[in-house]
Amino acid sequence: MVGAHVGVLPLQSLNAAPAVDWVALGEFDYTCVEIAAGKPLDEVQGIAYRDHGQMRITASRPTIENMDALPNVVEVYKRDLTIENYFIGYLQHPYVSLYTGRGCRSKCTFCLWPQTLGGHRYRVRSADSVEAEMACAKKYFPQVREFFFDDDTFTDDMPRAEEIARRLGRLGITWSCNAKANVPRKTLEILRGNGLRLLLVGYESGNQQILNNIKKGTRIDIAREFTRNCRELGITIHGTFILGLPGETPETIRETIRFACEIEPETIQVSLAAPYPGTELYRQAQEQGWLQIQTGELVDTHGMQVAALSFPTLSSTLIFDSVEEFYRKFYFRPRKIFSLVGGMVRSPEVMRRRLREGVEFFRFLHERKKTAQPSPAAIGTAAS
């Protein structure tokens, strides 16, 4: 078994799952290859495994430095995936998602992958390697309307992002990626001019102190300027926000809702702060007594996020209820409704995507109501 959870808690994971023979610690690409080839477990670096009733941990596996040595994933996609079966509301359909690098330079306290698997160095494939794979992807999947680069922060290395963009432009590819809300206009112009359609941007909060608390490394004023530049250049934004981060209060939640309505990303995702084991947020929550969960579950039996944190100034119930309040205040404004309907009228493809999103959105709200605890109060006056 591989992944962040078992990598952070290997012995606990083996004890909890007797059917599992081994778990990987850290990156697992070559670990899986060696075990599949029959290498004895005690000779495989970077695993915890069972040995006649005993739990053993092998020597650490070195971090992968040559990312170009990893095989191209589009070959596997071509062999095994029917890409039309996969949907993400903010991406054009059908789409294909892939990585060009691993790791993230940001130090966000809540973010799981850099703190457990990827690390805080952005280790990347060369522009030549990315260009070759994308040319292959275009050939294999001519029906794709959009490619998405799922690197934690594709714009961490802006000169590289610009170089890859130019090559994608020559290939005639429409693409999107994850970005931080600090990309300068000059870089945005290059990306947009070479096929960029959408940026997925983690704003997290509209309160500067909360951004400082989580070591986000962004400023509200820069985020506003970045968003304004994107709008002027025709770059769509899917903005993500998190409620219940350290320092949150009812007022900072209202501030974040107002901020989201002000900067007006095309679509949003609102999540609950999740203290994953292995993150600084988890350690803080344990030390400060913020954790409201005893079993470690961050989702309920329906797969819905639970409000795992509670603060002296803010209960977990209020944090949970604020997610729905956020969505309603953002999407149920006349201006936003008019904008979304306008896009549907102009494009049958957008209409199909929006209708699917709408059904999923109302199903999501319904499921949350079924599983939510009774709330002693609503978040209060709407953002104005």
Length of the chain: 384
Look at residue 374 in the predicted model and tell me its pLDDT.
Answer: 41
> Is the same domain home to 30 and 171?
no
Give mean pLDDT, residues 360-373: 67
As given in the structure block, the two tokens for residue 286 are 């344990």
> Is the same domain home to 360 and 291?
yes
Based on the number of CB atoms within 10 Å of its own CB, is 117 exposed (0-12), middle (13-18) or buried (19 or more)?
Answer: buried
> Is the same domain home to 20 and 150?
no
As given in the structure block, the two tokens for residue 381 are 């006056």
* 311 found inside a domain: yes
Give mean pLDDT, residues 353-372: 70
Following DSSP, what letter does each residue of 40-89 receive, concatenated?
A: -GGGSSSEEEEETTEEEE-PPPPPP--GGGSPPTHHHHHHH--GGG---T
Distance CA 272, CA 303 (A): 13
Condensed to tens digits (0 to 9), the pLDDT of residues 316-357 reads 999 999 999 999 999 999 988 888 888 878 877 777 777 777
> Is the same domain home to 131 and 180?
yes
Res. 382 pLDDT band, cuts 50 70 90? very low
Look at residue 353 in the predicted model and tell me its pLDDT.
Answer: 73
> Is the same domain home to 245 and 274?
yes
Look at residue 209 in the predicted model and tell me its pLDDT.
Answer: 98
For residues 64-103, one letter each, b for 16 or more C-beta atoms within 10 angstroms of the residue's C-beta and e for the rest, the string is: eeebeeeebebeebeeeeebeeeebebbbbbbbbbbbbbb
* 376 found inside a domain: no
* 187 found inside a domain: yes
Res. 37 pLDDT band, cuts 50 70 90? very high
Distance CA 198, CA 33 (A): 35
> Is the same domain home to 39 and 186?
no
* 181 found inside a domain: yes
The distance of Cα 29 from the centroid of its chain, to the nearest Å, equals: 21
> Is the same domain home to 159 and 39?
no
For residues 159-179, one letter each, b for 16 or more C-beta atoms within 10 angstroms of the residue's C-beta and e for the rest, the string is: ebbbbbbbbbbeeebebbbbb
> Is the same domain home to 321 and 293?
yes
Following DSSP, what letter does each residue of 224-263 receive, concatenated?
A: HHHHHHHHHHT-EEEEEEEES-TT--HHHHHHHHHHHHHH
Domain total of the chain: 2
> Is the same domain home to 111 and 170?
yes
Look at residue 370 in the predicted model and tell me its pLDDT.
Answer: 65
CATH number, domain containing residue 274: 3.80.30.20
- In this predicted structure, the answer to whether residue 372 has a pLDDT above a threshold of 70 is no
- In this predicted structure, the answer to whether residue 148 has a pLDDT above a threshold of 90 is yes
Res. 381 pLDDT band, cuts 50 70 90? very low
* 145 found inside a domain: yes
* 281 found inside a domain: yes
Q: What is the mean pLDDT of the chain?
A: 92
- In this predicted structure, the answer to whether residue 373 has a pLDDT above a threshold of 80 is no
Give mean pLDDT, residues 200-204: 98
Give mean pLDDT, residues 120-144: 98
**DSSP code at position 154:** G
> Is the same domain home to 294 and 337?
yes
Query: Does the reported pTM lie above 0.85?
Result: yes
> Is the same domain home to 13 and 47?
yes
Distance CA 306, CA 299 (A): 5
Query: Residue 29 is inside which H or E element, if any?
Result: helix 29-36
Give mean pLDDT, residues 141-166: 98
> Is the same domain home to 123 and 180?
yes
Res. 376 pLDDT band, cuts 50 70 90? very low
* 319 found inside a domain: yes
Condensed to tens digits (0 to 9), the pLDDT of residues 226-257 reads 999 999 999 999 999 999 999 999 999 999 99
Ranking 177-186, 225-234, 250-259, 357-366 by mean pLDDT, the lowest is 357-366
Give mean pLDDT, residues 14-20: 95
Look at residue 378 in the predicted model and tell me its pLDDT.
Answer: 38
* 106 found inside a domain: yes
Question: Which residues constitute the domain of residue 38?
Answer: 4-57
- In this predicted structure, the answer to whether residue 366 has a pLDDT above a threshold of 70 is no
Look at residue 296 in the predicted model and tell me its pLDDT.
Answer: 59
Look at residue 345 in the predicted model and tell me its pLDDT.
Answer: 80
